[in-house]
Structure 1
Amino acid sequence: MPRFSVIVPVFKVQGFLGECLDSVLGQSYTDFEVIAVDDRSPDGCGAILDEYAERDPRVRVLHLPENVGLGRARNAGMPYATGDYLFFLDSDDTLTPGALRAIADRLAETRDAGGPDGPDVLVFDYARTYWWGGTRRNALARVLSEAAEGTFTAAERPEILELLMVVWNKVYRRDYVTARGLVFPPGYYEDTPWTFPALLSAGRIAVLDRICLNYRQRRQGNILSTTSRKHFDIHDQYERVFAYVDAHPELARWRPYLHRKMGEHCLDILAKPDRLPASAKGEFFRRTAELFREHRTEEPVPADLRVLQGGYARYRARQRTAALGDTLGRRGGQARAAVAGRVKKGWFRAHALRPLDPELALYSAFSHRGVLGDPAAIHRAARELAPHILGVWVVRADQAEHLPPDIEYVLPDSLAYHRLAARAGYFVNNVSWPGTLVKRPGSVHIHTHQGTPLKYKGADLLHKPGARFGMDVPQLLRRADRWDYSLVANRHSELVWDRAFPCHFTSVRTGSPRNDVLVGARPGDGAAFRSRHGIPGDHTVVLYAPTRRDHIRGGHTDRFDLARFAEDLGAGHTLVVRLHPSLAEGPARGLGLAELHRRGVLVDATDEAHVEEVMLASDVLVSDYSALMFDYANLDRPIVVHADDWGALTAARGAYVDLTADAPGHVTRSYRELAALFASGGWRDAESARLRAGFRERFCEFEDGQAARRVVRTLMLGEPDVPVSIPAPAAGELDALTTT
């Protein structure tokens, strides 16, 4: 019998049905069957299902003689299921790549811990995908990550019940469903009387902290998001939940919880302006209040539900009072913000009348994310070489607690920030300062950038409308007008910045300060990272660092199966993955990376604050088009470029260097080529070394391990260490930069 029976009820989804079925049939894990139930759909869904069944023997189609609704269509499919686990997939949603493999692996893992039959229910994560292209991960994903180990019951982890009460973010052991007699009732909130009994009765629940399903948020057509009296169905469904509890005395302890949950759920429906017709709201409130009284327990009524003990008029008065309070609060907040803005501007102007302080430097990095990158390296050097210059960091409030105790800092847009910004003699940043900052004559702005540019930047993006979506290029250049010095690690960067930012700054051939630790790397420098992540000292560490893709919605897509790559590398190897920083807080890691890290398949280093430490701990870099390779070349360690979509990237974003022609190492264009390169050992052969030598000569030209000290001595202390003005580029040299 198959591992999974995927039951797909189908009604009026002909535009989405193919995508749904393809997402299942295209899974790398193939031990499943699909039972598609045509709920008498009036469009072309029936014919589409028949076409799929004809092409793929794993698909079985049931054509119902009449429309019965979502829940009973699922019921119709269950008798035909032969799989160990039931997976109820709505026909407009899709599975993410590798989802079934991840679920199967997690079931096997928890079966060993929980018994021969495995868990009764496994709960996985999902992401909402919107019709306009946005993606948002489940807001309560932390519940899954915090409960990731072993199996449990709802009583042991009641927070599992706070997740969305739907059927499709779980798989259910078929024998458990049969034994408990679980079926779907008719109605529009049919998931409620299925999910509560399934979770409350389960002897073993497991979780998978991975996004396995894309929950489509349709622009129209979702009954639960439309104005209708059909929302009255929620009352009948909770009656069924209470009836189930009454029939199972062992669940009696859950009555107070369900009583509260029912009140909250119904009031939430009532509070939404677009759910119920205005003429039906009073009736809905009264029916809710009746149900609330009928099932009341001896537990005290929570304060936010006491409104159900009064009449509808009292409820309406309370809602109007709350709405008025919200309006007044917003207006008051706007007024306070306006006053605060004027105070801050006045504070800045007042301090701007005082002389600049040549012994004060203001630092920031990556939009105030902490003491990081090139500015951090310069700050360390300034403490040694120029201790009389006070260095103060601008850091976001959520990052301040992570700072070392000896770091002085201010919060962005605070009065202290405006006071220091008005008088600081030096400003050091790898991102342009906010547009509100007024540059005073005599202040010195040092812009470090974020490495050597590969993809188009600044004014060059004017020719790439897709890549500059949401970016105000003129504003970007106005901010760059404040730069006095632009630090460069090579002649290539010097020319690119002059072209991409046509502003009045001086390029300084200092090298990249943050790369000083790479240039001077010694054996054992990465030992702390290896120890922290349990990597054996004799392992070959393969660092995979993919870039962000502007031509893909959300910026990320897995180019190959990370688990397979980790396995193919073989014994004695550890795969370390570091996503682009802009993807750290999005859904990208939830698509499998976090789960693989938890299982010890690989190491997720995305959250590591200091990327230099990650590079030092590795033996080889695999990247697509990340600028990290220019920094990594300073280590003189092998680099592999995985360029499977080079044409798409250059068409969408543009590139200054043709990495397929001027590569720092071997180039692969498919996973088969990548795996073969590592299997053969060719990633570190003589040709790799030859290519790397040429790449280092071109892009590590000014890197000598003294960049941070050179910046301090030259630009802050005025010592004639290196020239701060450079000759103009030769005629035609700028135009030669654009290779694609």
Structure 2
Amino acid sequence: MPETRETAPDPGPVLSVVVHGPNVQDHLTGLVESLAARPLPETEVIVAAVGDWARETAERHGPAFRVIPLPDGTGDAAARAAGAARARGRWLHFVHAKDGLPAGAPRLVAERAAELPGTVDVLLLDHVHSTWRASALPSRDGPLLARASGAGLALDDQPRLLRLAPLLGTRVLRAGFWRRHRELFATDDEPFAAYAALLLAGRVACLPHPAYEDRRLRPESLPPVTPEQRHALVDRYERLLGLTRDRPAAHAVLYDVMVRDCLRVFVRAGMPPATAREFFRRASLAALRRRPEDYRRPAGLEGIRRALLEEDAYTGYRALQAANRARRAVRTAVRSGRRQAGARLRDVEYRRALGRPVDPRLAVFSAYWDRGVACNPAAIAAKLAELAPHIHPVWVVSAGNAALLPPGTDHVVPGTGRYREVLARAAYLVNNVNFPNGVVKRPDAVHVQTHHGTPLKRMGLDQMPYPAAARGLDFRALLERVDKWDYSVSANSHTTRMWQRAYPSRYVSLDHGYPRNDVYYTAGAGEVRAVRERLGIPPGHRAVLYAPTHRDYEAGWTPRLDLAALADRLGEETILLVRAHYFYDGAVSPLTGLRRTGRIVDVSAYDPVEELCLAADVLVTDYSSIMFDYANLDRPIVIHADDWETYRTTRGVYFDLMAGAPGPVARTQEELTEILATEAWRDGAAAAARAAFRRRFCEYDDGRAAERVVRRVFLGQDEATLPPVLPLERRTPAPRPEEVV
């Protein structure tokens, strides 16, 4: 008989990377893309995905990952436990979905972990940190880790390691060690788990190379910290110090960390007086109760601070703070001077108006940098007149556009006395862009940001890596404006999610649909027929609306099509409605001289644009957000993308339009002409692409968006009582032009 050999059991991977948590501000996308780009044989990736967005992201970007879907609201501890339960690796690296891993980090960690002796429970990593302003900033942990490097260190011999940043992602845990102590690790308090890992470990090893990225979210984008959460900081250290009994070296270092952390939070957190007073009292008790026997306060100002804490001298500590602030204020005033008051609307009239009560019956509206009554604000104002006529709307309109307002429109011109009065006293401020920097956000006033499109191109902070798009933008000032928003209106979950990453702040997303798109479901045959007559489109003729977008890398607008040639090829029964982007208002139209036959109509100045969409049989655009709105009509859309690669590279995009277009794509004028001259613009393939696009991007638009916004914001109705969004298959768009002839 031939000799048989026993197959050795599979030892499993060295390392299990357990990614866990919700897709906060879309940071998970970059993380899983980086992991998918460099698969490693000794490493497995498990994604404990909290919520649908995290699950969709993980499944889309990493088919090799093991994805564990978890319901929205699952805490970090439960998500970590779910991922660890499925892990096969000998070591566990917990990576929060908001954080990142530098290039090559998993390989580096796996190689280091594989060579460690069995006595080591925790491998400590260096890290970098990132904010919205900067990426990959070095930590302060590197020198400490380098000095303590070794194959297996006892914490009691290196207690300074307790001064490392308390990030669980910088602690790689042996799987058996995790299982032995998983009950203690079962906490959403990540710093507690990070400290506990050090205190419980038999021995630790160090990797003094950045192998983790701590992404620090804007505090303004996170829920407000509750008094209970503030007080829990003291409780955390009390519990941890309980683990250092009979370990004087570790106890002394951890005590010092506790006192420093409590004083830092007390000084910087901006707690309400009652919360601050109770926090100080609890910290004082802990400082006395846990003080080491041979403890000596440091000299100088730090020693004074600690003495005041131990004595629970809250009033004395506040007096010390006030004196320090006064000295700093004098130095700052001498160094920097003051900004001009006019630039911040801080004139006498505005300050005086801010001192008067907010008028609960006053609402201020503006659109497109004070161009007039338009877009989502206009649709909201119209519904407001119907449902809440007791609230008086006032529009902010530039002097040049005031003459174009509908008769009877109450309005103010920027810079006037009444302009300052209404901005200061309005209970509601509604805009599809931002109000000027100097507008003060009063606590009892409501700011509604309606936006003016679904984002294909990068917006907000996402423009920072693209110089052409970021030119001239002050992102810090932008975020100050964003922080004034109470509500952000959204047409679909894609938009909601992209605004979270582009404009990270604490506003409430109103997933109600875009009010301006209501007309696409409420307009009837008469409205469609009347618009076409106003535009001079004869019955039975096809109207092609050509609406290209702005390009940051072009100084002006030149049509990317030979419109005269296109009109000639499409014949006498096709009318081209050509609309330039509103950024080019006032420029000499390049369409002059192309109106010889009446088959090319310049509609750049025609408002509202929604009427042009109602009149058109087909939309031709490139990357304009008009495609998302027009899709509500369920009419053909053709994409002309002759410079897609340039646009994507210079502006940045959120998804690949070429892979998910709402209809046929033309890369040249010849291809576009062929599509429009045949049935390709409206054949079965075009209809299927449009249906998929509508399911994704017409999610909340059903004809009642303005009503939902008015009821929620102005009438204060609960979300659950609003008219529900009608399913897509039950919606009836406005009739097509051929149906109203």
Indicate the residue corresponding to 2:438 in structure 1. 436
Structure 1 residues 656-706: Cα deviation after superposition (integer angstroms, max 9, x where no partner)? 121100010011111111111112111000111110000000000011100
Residue of 614, 627, 631 corresponding to 1:616 = 614
CA distance in 2, matches of 1:391, 1:471: 31
Decide which of 451, 456, 461 is 2:453's aligned counterpart.
451
Summarize the Cα distance change of 1:341–1:694 in structure 2 as closer, same or farther, 3 Å threshold: closer
Summarize the alignment of residues 547-696 of structure 1 with structure 2, pairs less than 5 Å apart. Answer: 547-554=549-556, 556-587=557-588, 589=589, 591=590, 593-597=591-595, 600-696=598-694
Question: Aligned partners of 2:642, 2:682: CA distance in 1, in Å?
Answer: 20
Instruction: Give runs of ≥4 in structure 1 deviating > 4 Å.
Output: 338-344, 721-724
Rounded to whole Å, the distance in 1 between the matches of 2:344 and 2:471 is: 32
Which one of 391, 408, 411 corresponds to residue 409 of structure 1? Answer: 411
Q: Following the alignment from structure 2 to structure 1, what is the Cα–Cα distance between the partners of residues 341 and 500?
A: 40
Change (3 A) 1:598 1:408: farther
Q: What TM-score do you get using the length of structure 2 for normalisation?
A: 0.50
Query: Residue 453 of structure 1 contacts residue 627 of structure 1 at CA under 8 Å; is this kept in 2?
Result: yes
Alignment-mate amino acid for residue 577 of structure 2: V
Distance in 2 separating the partners of 1:497 and 1:547: 20
Could you tell me which amino acid in structure 2 is paired with residue 558 of structure 1? Answer: P
Count residues in correspondence.
384
Cα distance between partner residues in 2 of 1:674 and 1:424: 49
The correspondence of residues 279-678 of structure 1 with structure 2, limited to 5 A, is 345-554=347-556, 556-587=557-588, 589=589, 591=590, 593-597=591-595, 600-678=598-676
Contact 1:344/1:415, CA 8 A, preserved across alignment: no
State how far apart, in whole Å, the 2-side matches of 1:439 and 1:619 are: 44
Q: Once the two structures are superposed, what CA deviation does each residue of 1:60-79 show, in whole Å capped at 9, x if it has no partner? A: xxxxxxxxxxxxxxxxxxxx
State whether residues 344 and 437 of structure 2, in contact with CA within 8 Å, keep that contact through their aligned partners in structure 1.
Answer: no
State the one-letter code of the partner of 2:631. Answer: A
Which whole-Å CA distance do the structure 2 matches of 1:515 and 1:531 have between them? 22
CA contact (8 A) 1:344 1:418 kept: no
- The TM-score, its normalising length taken from structure 1, stands at 0.50
CA contact (8 A) 2:458 2:654 kept: yes
**How far did residue 522 of structure 1 move?**
2.4
Shift of 1:721: 4.2
Instruction: Give the 3-state SS of the residue equivalent to 2:575 in structure 1.
Output: strand
- For the 8 Å contact 1:526–1:614, the answer to whether it is kept is no
- Is the contact made by 2:377 and 2:432 (CA closer than 8 Å) also made in structure 1? yes
**CA shift at 1:534, angstroms?**
1.9
Map 1:115-130 → 2, pairs under 5 A: none
Deviation per CA, 1:401-422: give whole Å up to 9, x if none. Answer: 1112221111112110111111
Determine helix, strand or coil for the equivalent of 1:453: coil
In structure 2, the gaps of 5 or more residues are 1-339, 723-741
**Between 697-706 and 712-721, the greater mean CA deviation after superposition:** 712-721
Assess if the C-alpha contact under 8 Å between 1:623 and 1:629 holds in 2: yes
Q: Secondary structure at the match of 2:395?
A: strand
Secondary structure of 2:551's aligned partner: coil
Give 3-state SS (helix, strand or coil) of 1:563's partner. helix
Note if contact 1:508-1:723 (Cα within 8 Å) is conserved in structure 2.
Answer: no
**Counterpart residue type for residue 348 of structure 2:** G
Equivalent runs, 1:200-239 vs 2, <5 Å? none
Cα contact 1:525–1:617 (8 A) shared by 2 = no
Compute the displacement of 1:553 (Å).
2.9
Distance in 1 between the 2:341 and 2:677 partners? 65
Whole-angstrom distance in 1 between the partners of 2:370 and 2:387: 24
Structure 1: runs of 5+ lacking an equivalent:
1-337, 725-740
Distance 2:342 2:508 in 1: 36
- State how far apart, in whole Å, the 1-side matches of 2:678 and 2:599 are: 22
* Compared CA separation, residues 714 and 387, structure 1 to 2 (3 A): same
After TM superposition, give the deviation of residue 530 of structure 1 in Å.
2.2
Per-residue CA deviations over 1:33-64 (Å, capped at 9, x if unaligned) read xxxxxxxxxxxxxxxxxxxxxxxxxxxxxxxx
Over the matched positions of the two proteins, sequence identity in percent amounts to 49
Instruction: Tell me the distance in 1 between the aligned counterparts of 2:649 and 2:451.
Output: 24
Q: Give the whole-Å Cα distance in 2 for the aligned partners of 1:341 and 1:612.
A: 35
State the alpha-carbon separation in 2 of the partners of residues 558 and 351 from structure 1.
Answer: 48
Change (3 A) 1:350 1:534: same
Kindly report the root-mean-square deviation, in angstroms, between the aligned alpha carbons of the 2 structures.
2.0
Q: CA deviation at 1:624?
A: 0.6
Residue 716 of structure 2 aligns to a residue in which SS? Answer: coil
SS in 2 for 1:551: coil
Q: Secondary structure of 1:597's match?
A: coil
Quote the offset at 1:520 in angstroms.
2.8
